[in-house]
Structure 1
Amino acid sequence: MAPQYAPSLRSRLAPLLLFLQIGFIVIYAFYVEIEGNVRDRDGDTFSNFYPEFQDVNVMVILGFGFLWTFLVRYGFSGTGFNLLVAVVATQWAVILNGIDSWYYRGKIMINLRSLVDAEMCAASALISIGVVLGKTNPVHLVLMALLEVSGFVLNEWLLHTLLKVSPLKNMRLHIFGAIFGLMVTWILHWNGSQKQFEKEKFGRKTGLFSMLGTIFLWMFWPSFNSVLVDGHTPGRKLGAVCSTYLALAVSAVTAVALSVLSSPKGKVSLIHIQSCILAGGVAVGVSISGVHQPWEAMTIGFTAAVVSTIGFRYLKNHMLLAFQCHDTCAILSTHGLPGLLGWLAQLLLQIRDCDDHTMAIQFAVFHICTVLFTVSLSLAMGVITGLLLKWNIWRPPQDRKCFDDQAFWEFPHLAVRK
């Protein structure tokens, strides 16, 4: 007999989703308009920007969705809850990103670029939920996404207001999302997480679907890194695409080699490859403004793959034993460490290219303050979110029902027939 549905799906999830969606509809009805100009203020036309929007959309929905299917009994939840969180977070991010427009113009104007901005915020939330995947219910994930997007947008506003800097979203989303998720899982801390959960297993078929998600992410990551780059400066977008591709290519080769070297049997680990071949794209995306030569991107991709693969092999277990921090998808190794590496690479490259020592010192100070501010806010928001989600009112799943689709999804072939 299949386990009964989690109570949150009946008494908590449906009211929460209906309340949010009706609220979004009301806000959009009164305060949101589609920008009517064929060419928006950044000079982007529909025909030349729509492919980039679709690339980001494929990454957020298909890429992350299939990537989360590696757990043998959590494929429905991995893809389904990914879509749910992505669309809720995107609608919420459109509103938060448009507050300035509403304040000065009375309306939130949306176009393809604002949708891409919102999906970038949603991607940061998806990175965060990868840390707690399988150990939470959908109510947890939706609330976590709303708070994470709020913190991410607040971080951008504070950086722009206090430090007068406006770093690209893809410079901050990996670091913010990874640290936020780690703090949430650390605060929640499941009693059974000192060892591997009973159903936290990797399967052959689910591994194949998960690899498909990795391929989608790998293919479209150049668009993800270049979509928000200033297209008015000649060669900027092309440089971002080429640098990202080269970094991804190098990280793929390096990840395979290190996976073989770190394996006791000298074999390639598919679960390592799924995440570590993306490390180069993460690192070079954070440092994209400082990368000007192909070898620089390739070096960053190589170093990111080394850090990510070694971290994936050893760091996850040590984090669990030392800090009781259970990272389901090893987000720290996939996004956190490569993101910090990219930040360091950008700092070194920008200082190297700066002829004025005063300007170099000023950039270094602001760059360090930016990452410290981002890390501090993500830590604080992660703690607040973890404490909120720790309430039993959300009905967290029992240890024996973690990583199990049957707690949340209907399976007709398991239904009890009267």
Structure 2
Amino acid sequence: MAPRYAPSLRSRLAPLLFFLQLGLLVIYGNYIEIESNVKVHGITVSHIYPDFQDVNVMVFLGFGFVCTFLVRYGFSGSGFNLLVAIMATQLAIILNGIESWYYRGKIRIDLRSIVVAEMCTASALISIGAVLGKTNPVHLVLIALLEVSGFVLNKWLLQTLLKVQPLNSIMLLHIFGTLFGLMLAWMLYRKGSEQQFEKEKSDRKTRLFSMLGSLFLWMFWPSFNTALVDVSTPGRKLAAVCSTYLALAVSAVTAAALSVLSSPNGKLNPNHMQSCIIAGGVAVGVSMSVVHQPWEAMTIGFAAAVISTIGFRYLKFHMLLAFQCHDTCAVLSTHGLPGLLGWLAHLLLQLKDCDHHTMAIRFAVFHICTLLITIALSLFMGFITGLLLKLNIWRPTQDKKCFDDQAFWEVGNQDIIFLQANKYVAEDNCISAPKISNNKLQ
């Protein structure tokens, strides 16, 4: 029996995608051109292309496989990740180039601008993790476009009003994406979420694919943190890569130890290893510009793994009970808490390096304002997006169809059901029917 809302996808998703893509095509055709200079800001294609490849792997493979842990939501977890990422990246390139369009009449793009756009897109993928499985693809596309627009606006405000460095403003994507996603999860709360949804579960195979996504993220996170580091400063990028690796290494070891300690049976929890091994990379990325010593990065990685593992163990369930916020992928403990820790580490390390009290106080005020603006704008944009998604015109997914690929994908189950039904009819009519095994059907 076909899903009830299949015609809804046909009448809403396809027109929406065609309309958005044709609109982007018109904008790109009239206002965007590829940068012709071989060397821009001291960076050549050979310098940025490895980072471009690594960020691509993280955005499309890493985040995509991480979302496949649900037993019947693998196609949607990876496929919708690809869909929303490429749509959001195209929009982010335009939004990041508005200033260039204002002064030059054209938006010039290169590999660096695409990398920046994909990093902005990562904030939207974090937000989508909070509502994974409870939304349809129309919702996800709207979430990605609105979230990226809000994040680019937040980045512009921080760089314009508070003179925040571009790298520091972009690395706040973890905090922005987490709070945006949590606001969405609160706005789109479904009654009965305290009792686990029927299909909200995983098995060994799906956890293995999800762990593969975490390994992709862990391996390529140094490139993600250092893709925008200024190469004009000798040794700065090498130091950033080493700091990120050390923080990731310490967080992986610490997460494993805490997972064993917090387990009633004294065993490793695959969810902890999957979600908390990247906490050090998240935290040190937010504080990258002030981390200069290996022990600083390792300390940040250790603290990030502690709060991430403990948060994953206890905070997700309490957030659901206390605030009616059903965070599917536990983005608060994976990205939010380590991101806040990185912000705090940035503040403390910068104050330690300040020799003048007046400069220290001034930096502290500006740094706190940076966080407050990010929190306020992310929650506001999440609230507006939640109000938009609650409209019935988007045909929200029914509770019994949440976390199910069959609602949106042709997965082959219909043919199996049809053949089995014919077999039973034949047996009732005393007609000998050949026995068909599932292996042959597959």
| TM-score of the two chains, using structure 2 as the length reference | 0.93
Q: SS of the residue aligned with 1:33?
A: strand
2:364 corresponds to which letter in structure 1?
A: A
Q: SS of the residue aligned with 1:222?
A: helix
- Residues in 2 aligned to 1:150 and 1:343: alpha-carbon distance in whole angstroms: 22
Moved more, 285-294 or 184-193: 184-193
Q: SS of the residue aligned with 1:299?
A: helix
Could you tell me which residue of structure 1 aligns to residue 19 of structure 2?
A: 19
Could you tell me which residue of structure 2 aligns to residue 162 of structure 1?
A: 161
Aligned residue runs from structure 1 range 239-318, under 5 A:
239-318=239-318
Aligned residue runs from structure 1 range 176-255, under 5 A:
176-255=176-255
Moved more, 322-331 or 187-196: 187-196
CA contact (8 A) 1:290 1:349 kept: yes
- Residues in 2 aligned to 1:164 and 1:100: alpha-carbon distance in whole angstroms: 16
CA contact (8 A) 1:184 1:383 kept: yes
- Residues in 2 aligned to 1:371 and 1:196: alpha-carbon distance in whole angstroms: 34
CA contact (8 A) 1:6 1:397 kept: no
Question: Could you report, residue by residue, the CA deviation over 1:354-404 in whole angstroms, capped at 9, with x for unpaired residues?
Answer: 111111111111111001100110010010001110111101111110000
2:12 corresponds to which letter in structure 1?
A: R
Aligned residue runs from structure 1 range 14-413, under 5 A:
14-40=14-40, 42-168=41-167, 169-413=169-413
- Residues in 1 aligned to 2:6 and 2:184: alpha-carbon distance in whole angstroms: 21
**CA deviation after TM superposition for structure 1 residue 59, in Å:** 0.3
Question: Could you report, residue by residue, the CA deviation over 1:180-212 in whole angstroms, capped at 9, with x for unpaired residues?
Answer: 000011011111312211110011000000011
- Residues in 2 aligned to 1:248 and 1:7: alpha-carbon distance in whole angstroms: 46
Q: SS of the residue aligned with 1:109?
A: strand
User: Over aligned residue pairs, what C-alpha RMSD do you find?
Assistant: 1.2
**CA deviation after TM superposition for structure 1 residue 73, in Å:** 0.5
Could you tell me which residue of structure 1 aligns to residue 439 of structure 2?
A: none
- Residues in 1 aligned to 2:82 and 2:8: alpha-carbon distance in whole angstroms: 19
1:10 matches 2:10: yes
Unaligned runs of 5+ in 1: none
Q: SS of the residue aligned with 1:194?
A: coil
- Residues in 1 aligned to 2:349 and 2:272: alpha-carbon distance in whole angstroms: 29
Moved more, 405-414 or 335-344: 405-414
- Residues in 1 aligned to 2:93 and 2:175: alpha-carbon distance in whole angstroms: 21
CA contact (8 A) 1:69 1:78 kept: yes
Could you tell me which residue of structure 1 aligns to residue 432 of structure 2?
A: none
CA contact (8 A) 1:170 1:225 kept: no
Q: SS of the residue aligned with 1:193?
A: coil
- Residues in 1 aligned to 2:7 and 2:343: alpha-carbon distance in whole angstroms: 43
- Residues in 2 aligned to 1:159 and 1:46: alpha-carbon distance in whole angstroms: 28
1:222 corresponds to which letter in structure 2?
A: P
Q: SS of the residue aligned with 2:409?
A: coil
**CA deviation after TM superposition for structure 1 residue 413, in Å:** 4.4
- Residues in 1 aligned to 2:102 and 2:111: alpha-carbon distance in whole angstroms: 21
The higher relative CO (CA closer than 8 Å, separation ≥ 6) is in 1
Question: Could you report, residue by residue, the CA deviation over 1:92-138 in whole angstroms, capped at 9, with x for unpaired residues?
Answer: 00010000000000000000000001001110000000000000000
- Residues in 2 aligned to 1:414 and 1:36: alpha-carbon distance in whole angstroms: 52
CA contact (8 A) 2:155 2:170 kept: no
- Residues in 2 aligned to 1:292 and 1:8: alpha-carbon distance in whole angstroms: 54
1:173 corresponds to which letter in structure 2?
A: L
- Residues in 2 aligned to 1:47 and 1:246: alpha-carbon distance in whole angstroms: 26
**CA deviation after TM superposition for structure 1 residue 157, in Å:** 1.3
2:66 corresponds to which letter in structure 1?
A: L
Moved beyond 4 Å, runs of 4+: none
- Residues in 1 aligned to 2:326 and 2:8: alpha-carbon distance in whole angstroms: 23
Moved more, 81-90 or 354-363: 354-363
**CA deviation after TM superposition for structure 1 residue 44, in Å:** 1.1
Unaligned runs of 5+ in 2: 423-442
Question: Could you report, residue by residue, the CA deviation over 1:27-66 in whole angstroms, capped at 9, with x for unpaired residues?
Answer: 00000000011111x2111112101100000000000000
2:16 corresponds to which letter in structure 1?
A: L
CA contact (8 A) 2:35 2:108 kept: yes
Q: Which has the larger radius of gyration?
A: 2
Q: SS of the residue aligned with 1:69?
A: coil
- Residues in 2 aligned to 1:373 and 1:118: alpha-carbon distance in whole angstroms: 21
2:407 corresponds to which letter in structure 1?
A: A
1:327 corresponds to which letter in structure 2?
A: D
**CA deviation after TM superposition for structure 1 residue 69, in Å:** 0.4
**CA deviation after TM superposition for structure 1 residue 4, in Å:** 4.6
1:22 corresponds to which letter in structure 2?
A: L
